[in-house]
Chain A
Amino acid sequence: MIVGWLIAILFLGGALAWASEALDAQLPKFIALLALLGSAVLVGWLALSGQANPLSPQGQWWVLADANWIPRFGIRFAVGVDGLSLLMLLLTVFLGLMALGAAWHEIRERSGFFYFNLLWTLAGVVGVFTSLDLFLFFFFWEVMLIPMYLIIAIWGHENRAYAAMKFFLFTQVSGLLLLFAIVCLAWFHAQQFGAFSFDYFALQDVVLEGRVQTWLMLGFFVGFATKLPAFPFHAWLPDAHSQAPTAGSVLLAGVLLKTGAYGLIRFTVPLFPEASASFAPFAMGLAAVGILYCAKLAFAQQDLKRLIAYTSVSHMGFVLLGVYAWNLYGLQGAVMTMLAHGFSAAALFMIAGGLQHRLHTRDMQRMSGLWSRLPMLSAMALFFTVAAVGMPGLGNFIGEFLSLLGAFQASRVATVFAALGLVLSAVYSLWVIQKVFHGPLLLPAGQGREPDGGLADLGTVELLCYGLMALGLLWMGLYPQSFLAHSASVLEALLQQTGTPGGGG
């Protein structure tokens, strides 16, 4: 029932935050903070008790709630948690708090409705990570998108309407393909077993003929690859990320992208193992192309947030690569990349947002040499950029290295090309550092002319957020075992179930 509570707290907290705005404009953020802390406590309790619980290990689901919802079609409200979900929940709640921190001073208008959207997005994400019923999954999938659309469309920057609509169209069209594939799958289940079912485990038993399987797999793939986003489906992301408010970018990059990867691991491959196996070379090719192509695009950008957005796409390529390598190294690498990228990309977006807050521009041509004015912010930016470059000792390296290690067993050519992305990532990351933080001091006109006070370095909330994220990345980089251990049994079970020899060694 804990997951039920988790979702309920977020939903109710959102509603309450909205309602409370009428009383006091400051109240919503404290309510949101309480709701997030409450859910953090729940997830923490889940993590601690889950290890002690005899039901949870060995890749078993720990079903936490199961009730009939629409019995006519065999739709159930079934949520559960296993090691992989738990990691994702931890990421979600943590980045939810970070997003709150980013919004703390930034959101002034209609704050109640903002926190309502924030919490409902998070509730949707929690639902996505825990659903055991594909219909329920899709329901939460939509719940998470619409508040996000609103966040971009209402609190976004100058070109927000376009970006929000693009985001909505991409996710909605791909979501429809996903829904179609889910319904088809349930229909095949009804044909073979006599009743509709959207149950995750029941649907795994459905036997599909080759071509049908391929088409349904593609439906799932496009649905998740758009969210991830993988190479040809990435066009929505730069616009959405650059136009969203900081908290929105944090959630988008940190959490929402991960739902796509989670979907690939959890649903696409286990439900369609044969079709996925034959599709894997294409997917890995797409991943390699995406890594290089988007790294190159990132280098060409002048808008700081847009640049970071492209780097996100590039890094998500490693996730795709790892997933479709479909061995333990690749999968663990994908999971670690998801976690680490969640931290580093969120932090970079917060830095970009912080700069925009201070300088009122995102144009890198108009800033330079900020290190001398904002030493702490710049040091943090350097840290997270270095993390994004894949410096060993930080989380991203573990993820990328394991992904590539796994991918190497599956496709050497794709791996070699993807590895070139490491070079390009250095090129664009260092360019950012050079352009923004190093070089002679240059500020946008009318900014910070006065000797002091014009530009404030990090405040307490920001410092706390960045510090926590930096520590998290260090933890992931130096002792990833505490994360890998959670997902290991789950991934091994998935590998066994799809008939791939686990471990690859």
Chain B
Amino acid sequence: MDAIPYEHGLILAAILFVCGLLGVLTRRNIVFVLMSLEIMLNACGLAFVVASARWQHAEGQIMYLMILTLAAAEVAVGLGLIIQMYRRFHTVDISVLNEMKG
């Protein structure tokens, strides 16, 4: 069993996080935005699990569990909002929703 450098796990998490971020920033379709958010959350979870392995402690995984719960709740609410939005505006383009400006 070879040793995996600790940083590599974290770097992977960072890359995934940045990919998700890129998705959030660039996509106009709200479904994609929500998926990208999931990617980011997942990347965070990955970072926690890597840390758990690094310190050989279970609490990192507990944090992962919390994130999982959070992701579940967020997706539920987010999808509910998407449905509502589609019903109201017949689109999934978030740039349509720009009423809240100064």
Chains A and B share a contact (CB less than 8 Å): no
Interface residues of B (CB under 8 A from A): none
Interface residues of A (CB under 8 A from B): none
